[in-house]
Amino acid sequence: MVSENGAVNEDLVKERQNCSFNTLELTHLLDGGEAKTLERKEREEYFLSDPAFKDEVPMEYLSHQEQYEHSVRKACHMFRKLQEMPHGSMDNFREPPVESVAQRIKQLLGGMLGSAILKDGNPLALHYVMFLPTLAGQGTVEQQAYWISRAWNLEIVGTYAQTELGHGTFIRGLETTATYDPSTQEFVLNSPTLTAYKWWPGGLGHTANYAVVVAQLYTQGKCHGIHPFIVQLRDEETHMPMPGIIIGEIGAKLGMNTTNNGYLGFKQVRIPRENMLMKNNKVLEDGTYVKSPSDKLTYGTMMFVRVVICQDMASYLSKAVTIATRYSAVRHQSEMKPGAPEPQVLDYRTQQYKLLPSIASVFAMKFSANWIWEMYNVVNSELDQGDLERLPELHAVSCCLKALCTSDAASAVEIVRLACGGHGYMKSSNLPSTYGLVTAACTYEGENTVLLLQTARYLMKTWQQARSGQTLTPSVAYLNLYSDWRQPRTVWENTTDCVIKAFYQVAAGKVKAAAEHMERRAKGGMTPEDAWNETSIELVAASTAHCRAFIVEKFIETVSKTDVSRPLQAVLCQMAELYAVYWLLNNKGDFLMFSNLSPADVDGLQLWLEQLLTKLRPNAVGIVDSFDIHDDILASPLGAWDGRVYERLFEESQKSPLNKEPVNKSFHEYMKPFLRSNL
């Protein structure tokens, strides 16, 4: 039913009336408390009410070049506003004090506010996300004092240039060289081949004037592997490329078209010795190389970035499911019963199956990101005391969690986009650009398959330890418990305890199978490397099962411990169960093979899934409303709070430049002569 006079759509009004819990309570829970919700809303109001961020013509109708120019304008305005943002207005009466500038920057670059202002990527993002943290993490105290203050005050704009045309994952294979010349105390940077050109860094094309460049270090005739160097790319006044710097943008991509990803080649470019970031390894004036005692210290930044990625994935997905769920409540289609009115598409079981598990995934990602953040802090404080024991475990968990959160988010965004039928294919729905942003994260900061294989390496090691009877660290302790999956089966029960156990049984079974198959290959005469490669499909599957098991466990554990009202508790538990049963049924072969599940139990599980969908259906709109996403952040006619889907879609269509004139000149230039010539 279409609303009159701009009122809220009647279906949405009904949905909201039928919601069984207090949506504000869930909003506060997700934000981390009422004060945080208020802070968020103030921040959103401060930025989103600014007319400088509004587009007269939607960005997608601009040329590539215009899109870039608008993005730079918006990005500069965004960070200027951030600097001017009142810091203390709330300090006097709010505890804890208002968020730090670093937190605000994170919000401005993240999946909510950031993607509302710049839908297709921010050309200044890398300056904050990678350039500054690398200076902080890898520079000496003197280097930090000089470079961080210049970067922080935006006297210079930087990026992080690691990936090359020829190498991404395999960073030891990078070809850019930095050769030390003791006679001038300079490094000479060179790109010996085309494949040595840097390729991908955000902001590199036309935005940054400096970069941290990762290159093979040569001194005294010897290669010491890859190291980071600060290189000036462009003149600070004219922005012209510096001598010997070959620089530009890599071109249009599936998404993120305004991040200005660039290429960079060096022709014997000289930089002072002091521009090598020397917190860990050093080159002395005479060219002597001094190696750091431990290079594990850079793990911290990597892990921090992965946690942030998981949080961002939850944000992007929460936007997509809000759009698709509100639309599904407003959209009526077909006849369920002959002659009956067309139902809301949300009432179709298959539609619920597309939307509700995707909504549940948002919670799963948020809770597991919180959990790994706590683990990160514990392990970091242990590191300060010289205790490195849990570092490999944290590394393994962060790798697979980044991989699953990004790949789940990418498939869920696509599922809910399809759930919006044709309208989901419209750029204006904001679902295509959301997909572009999310799927990129499957590749950057560690390609997902490669990350899962890193977790697998850890699992293979711990598997050997389990076999030799050693006690294992918490996230892999299940390998001790379920190492023998051929032990007699016990009775299956549709309970969360039984389900969690089953996920771990599957993970243990898959770890064991991969380990045994690798061993068998090695015994058959294969080199360990070949055996690894031959077994890698199963290794990736083992990592995935391991990660899914702890996401399920953390989800169920978190909701059972959360102190909330009973109606909300019920909804959260249903979400956690739905998430678990959905993934269980999606992989039932594994569960039949490795857990207590038998074929006779599958019908019961299917019924459980359907019952959960039925229970959650009346709260679907309420749950996405609780995400409390500002209409300007959703930026979608399908998902706005008032549900005026058709009016808004039509309004959006009017923004197409083609509709500015009744007849396009191409009719007279091409069509008419063509049509006439056929007479």
Which of 323, 360, 405, 440: binder of ligand FAD (CB under 6 A)?
A: 440
Which of 20, 83, 169, 184: binder of ligand FAD (CB under 6 A)?
A: 169
CA 550 to chain centre: 19
Q: How far apart are CA 461 and CA 576, in angstroms?
A: 31
**Region of 160-168, 325-333, 371-379, 651-659 interacting with ligand FAD (CB under 6 A):** 160-168
| Binding map of ligand FAD across residues 448-477, x = CB under 6 A, - = no contact | -xx--x------------------------
Residue tagged 């953040």 (tokens): 373
**Nearest residue (CB) to ligand FAD, 147 versus 263:** 263
Which of 147, 160, 591, 594: binder of ligand FAD (CB under 6 A)?
A: 160
Which of 133, 158, 201, 509: binder of ligand FAD (CB under 6 A)?
A: 201
**Region of 156-164, 305-313, 485-493, 646-654 interacting with ligand FAD (CB under 6 A):** 156-164
Which of 37, 298, 380, 443: binder of ligand FAD (CB under 6 A)?
A: 443
443 is in an annotated binding site: no
Q: Which residues pair with 216 in a beta bridge?
A: 177, 226
Q: How far apart are CA 426 and CA 409, in angstroms?
A: 20
CB of 596 to ligand FAD, least distance (A): 33
Residue 265, SS3 per DSSP: strand
Residue with CB nearest ligand FAD?
168
Active-site hit among 164, 186, 445, 538: 445
Q: What is the DSSP string of 450-514?
A: HHHHHHHHHHHHHHHHHHTT----GGGTHHHHTS-TTSPP----SSHHHHHHHHHHHHHHHHHHH
CB of 161 to ligand FAD, least distance (A): 6
CB of 148 to ligand FAD, least distance (A): 19
The helix (H) or strand (E) run that includes residue 232 is: strand 222-232
**Nearest residue (CB) to ligand FAD, 158 versus 637:** 158
**Nearest residue (CB) to ligand FAD, 126 versus 609:** 126
Q: How far apart are CA 280 and CA 227, in angstroms?
A: 10
- In our burial notation (b when 16+ CB lie closer than 10 A, e otherwise), range 126-153 reads bbbbbbbbbbebbbeeebbeebbeebee
Which of 50, 274, 447, 534: binder of ligand FAD (CB under 6 A)?
A: 447
Applying CB under 6 A, does 162 fall inside the site for ligand FAD? Answer: yes
**Nearest residue (CB) to ligand FAD, 185 versus 449:** 449
First to last CA, the chain: 47
- Is 445 among the catalytic positions? yes
Treating both helix axes as pointing N-terminal to C-terminal, what angle do 496-523 and 448-467 enclose, rounded to 10 degrees? 90
673, exposed or middle or buried, with CB in 10 Å at 0-12, 13-18, 19+? exposed
| Binding map of ligand FAD across residues 45-84, x = CB under 6 A, - = no contact | ----------------------------------------
Question: Is there a cis peptide before residue 272, judged by omega within 30 degrees of 0?
Answer: no
DSSP character for 151?
H
163 is in an annotated binding site: yes
Binding residues for FAD are 163, 202
| Catalytic residue annotation | 445
The site for ligand FAD (CB under 6 A) is made up of: 126, 160-163, 168-169, 200-202, 256, 261, 440, 443-444, 447, 449-450, 453
Binding residues are 163, 202
